[in-house]
Amino acid sequence: MTDFVALAIGHALVWEAGVCLVAAPQSWRDRRSGSDAPPLSPPDGELAWKLGAGWLVGAFVLTLLMRALSLAGMPFGRLGIGLPLLLIVVAGAGFTLFSGSRETLARWRAAAVAALRTASGAHLAVPLRLVWLALVGWMALRYALLAAEVMMRPLYPWDAWMQWATKARVWFEMRSLVPFVPFDAWLPANGAAYFDAAPHYPATVPLWQVWSALLIGRWDDAHTNLAWWCTAVAICLLVYGFLRGAGGSRWLAIVGAWLAGSLPIANVHVALAGYADLPMAAYVTLGALAGWRWARLRRAEDLLLLGVALAALPTIKNPGKAWLVLLLPGVAVAAWPRWGLRAAGAIVGAGALALLILAQTSPVILGYRIQYAGAFPWQGLLDAYFLYASWHLLWFAVLAVAVLGARSLLCADAAPFTVTLGLGLLFLLFGFAFTNASTWVDDQSTVNRATLHLAPLFVVWMLLVYRDWAARLGGAAAAAPSPASDAAAPTAAA
C-alpha cells in the first residue's frame, strides 16, 4: 500500500505541474485584462482539454528535469526531481490566487462543477441519462481494471523488456543517464558504457520508469509503469475536450472519448505497459489537435502545446522524427487552408519522386533499410485491420465515413486531419512496403503498434467528417420541397 500511495502522489505531482503550465497563459491574460466583470465559465470541454494536455506536458517536463540533473552531474532522487515540480505547482497556484486573477479561480471552479454535472448526466432526460451513464461507467470500470493490471502485472517480455526497461533499470541503479552504445563500441569500453537490444532508442519512456522506481525506492518492474495508464486517460480527456471545443455536442465528444479509450490494442499497451507506442500516439494526437486549436483561436497556450508535442516526439521513438515533419502540413492547412492544401500536394509529389530514387540506392534511414520486397503485404494488413480483434470495427467505420462523407473530407474542420492522416498512412504504407519492416507485417509484430500512433486522431477525424456530413444531409433535407408544398403550388398558381 505504501508503494501505491507513493506512486499516486508522485504522478499526481507531475500531472499538477503540467496543468499549471498549461493554465498559466490563461491566468496571465486574466491578470492583464484586469476586468471587473463577473467571471465566465470556460467553454465546455476546456477543463478536460487542460487536464489531458497537462499530463503530457508534465510528463515531458519531468524527463527534461532528469536530463538536466544528469548533465549537471547531480544524481537522480525524489527530492531533486520532485522539488522543481512542486515549485511549479506552488508558483502556478500562487500566480492564480494572488496576482489579481481570482476570476480565473472562480471560472475554473464553475467549470469543475459543470463537469461533474455533465459526467453525472444531469443535463439529460432519464432514458438518455441511462445511456450516458452506461458510457461513462464503462470507461470508469475499464480504466479501474487497467489500473489494477498496470500496478500488479510484472513487465511483459519482448521490446518492453529488452529495449526500454533495460535503460530504466541501469539509469535507476546508477542515478544518472549513463550511455548505451552499440556492441562494437561497448566491448572496448570496458564497463564505461552499457549495451542492450536497441542502444540508439531515445530516453523519454525509460525515464518515466526511473521516476516510478525512485518513488518506491527500489526497482520493481510490476510498479514502474503507471505513466502508461495516465497517458491513456489523458488521450480520452484530450479527445473529449477537443471535440467539445470544436463545437461538437456532448454526445459527439463522449462517443469520441469512448472510441479512443476502448481500442483493444491501446488497452493492451496499458495492461502490458512498457512500449513507446502509446506515448507516441498521445503526443501525435496532442500536436495535431493543438495545431488545429492554435489555427482557430491563435492562443499562446495552444502554440506552446504544439511546440511541446513536436519537441517530445523525437525523444520518444525514432519514427517520432517523421511524425514531427508530417504534423506540420496539417497545421499549415488549418492556419492557411488554400496554401496549405497546395503545399501538402507538393509534399506528396516530392515524396513519390524521392521514393523512386531511394528504392534504387537502399539507404538506411531511422534504422530502416529502404528496399522494395517485390510484393505489397496486403494480406498482413487486411488481417491486422479487418480480420483480427485488435481494432474492433474502427477501420470499417473509417471506410464507411470516408465513403459516405467524401464531400466533407476537405471541410474546414476536417481538412487538416485529412491531410495529416493521409500523409501518415502514406508514410506507414511506405514503411510496410519499401523497408525491412515489410517482413514484420505478416507476423503482426509491428503493423498494429505503428498504426496505433494515428488511431486516436482517426477517431477525431471520423467524428468531424460525420458531423459535417450529417449537417449537409440535414441541410439538403430542409432545402428539399415537401410534398405538401408541391401539392399547394399548382393550387396557388390557379
pLDDT in tens, 105-123: 777 778 888 888 888 888 7
pLDDT in tens, 78-92: 999 999 999 999 998
Helices (H) and strands (E) in the chain, counts: 22, 2
pLDDT in tens, 410-461: 999 999 999 999 999 988 988 887 776 777 787 787 899 999 999 999 999 9
Which band of pLDDT confidence, cut at 50, 70 and 90, is reported for residue 33? Answer: low
If one counts every other C-beta atom within 10 angstroms of the C-beta of residue 310, the result is: 21
Nearest partner of 375 among 442, 424, 420, judged by Cα: 442
Please give the angle made by the CA atoms of 283, 289 and 295, to the nearest 5 degrees.
130
If one counts every other C-beta atom within 10 angstroms of the C-beta of residue 1, the result is: 5
Nearest partner of 427 among 370, 465, 385, 362, judged by Cα: 370
pLDDT at 479: 65
Percentage with pLDDT > 90 across the chain: 62
Number of residues that this document lists for the chain:
494
Nearest partner of 258 among 232, 278, 276, 291, judged by Cα: 232
Lowest model confidence (mean pLDDT) among 158-162, 232-236, 360-364:
360-364
pLDDT at 365: 66
* DSSP code for 370: B
Q: Are 439 and 338 in contact (CB under 8 A)?
A: no
Average pLDDT score over the chain? 87
Percentage with pLDDT > 70 across the chain: 87
Which band of pLDDT confidence, cut at 50, 70 and 90, is reported for residue 101? Answer: low
Alpha carbons 371 and 390: distance in angstroms, whole number: 28
Residue 34 pLDDT exceeds 60: no
In this prediction, residues 478-482 reach a mean pLDDT of 60
pLDDT in tens, 367-417: 666 766 667 788 889 999 999 989 989 999 999 999 999 999 999 999 999
Which band of pLDDT confidence, cut at 50, 70 and 90, is reported for residue 482? Answer: very low
Alpha carbons 268 and 309: distance in angstroms, whole number: 23
Nearest partner of 466 among 421, 407, 383, 422, judged by Cα: 407
CA dihedral 476, 477, 482, 486 (to 10 degrees): 20
Would you give the distance in Å from CA 62 to the centre of its chain? 17
Residue 350 pLDDT exceeds 90: no
Q: Are 490 and 446 in contact (CB under 8 A)?
A: no
Alpha carbons 466 and 453: distance in angstroms, whole number: 22
In this prediction, residues 133-162 reach a mean pLDDT of 91
Residue 236 grid cell: 480520452
* Per-residue buried b or exposed e for 188-210, using 16+ beta carbons within 10 Å of the residue's own CB: eeeeebbbbebbebbbbbbbbbb
Query: Which helix or strand (DSSP H or E) is residue 369 part of?
Result: strand 368-369
pLDDT at 157: 72
pLDDT in tens, 315-332: 999 999 999 999 999 999
Lowest model confidence (mean pLDDT) among 232-241, 267-276, 361-370, 392-401:
361-370
Which band of pLDDT confidence, cut at 50, 70 and 90, is reported for residue 493? Answer: very low
Provide the angle, in degrees to the nearest 10, between the axes of the packed helices 226-245 and 126-152: 150
Which band of pLDDT confidence, cut at 50, 70 and 90, is reported for residue 39? Answer: very low
Which band of pLDDT confidence, cut at 50, 70 and 90, is reported for residue 494? Answer: very low
Residue 145's contacts (CB-CB under 8 Å, 6 or more residues apart) are none
Residue 484 pLDDT exceeds 50: no
* DSSP code for 274: -
In this prediction, residues 308-318 reach a mean pLDDT of 96
Domain boundaries, the chain: 2-281, 318-473
Rounded CA Rg of the chain: 24
Please give the angle made by the CA atoms of 173, 174 and 177, to the nearest 5 degrees.
120
pLDDT in tens, 189-235: 887 889 998 999 999 999 999 999 999 999 998 899 999 999 999 99
> Has this prediction a pTM greater than 0.85?
yes
Which band of pLDDT confidence, cut at 50, 70 and 90, is reported for residue 103? Answer: low
pLDDT at 74: 95
Q: Is 199 helix (H, G, I), strand (E, B) or coil?
A: coil
Measure the N-to-C terminal CA separation of the chain; round to a whole number of Å: 86
Alpha carbons 197 and 161: distance in angstroms, whole number: 10
Alpha carbons 75 and 329: distance in angstroms, whole number: 41
Q: Is 138 helix (H, G, I), strand (E, B) or coil?
A: helix
Lowest model confidence (mean pLDDT) among 45-59, 140-154, 440-454:
440-454
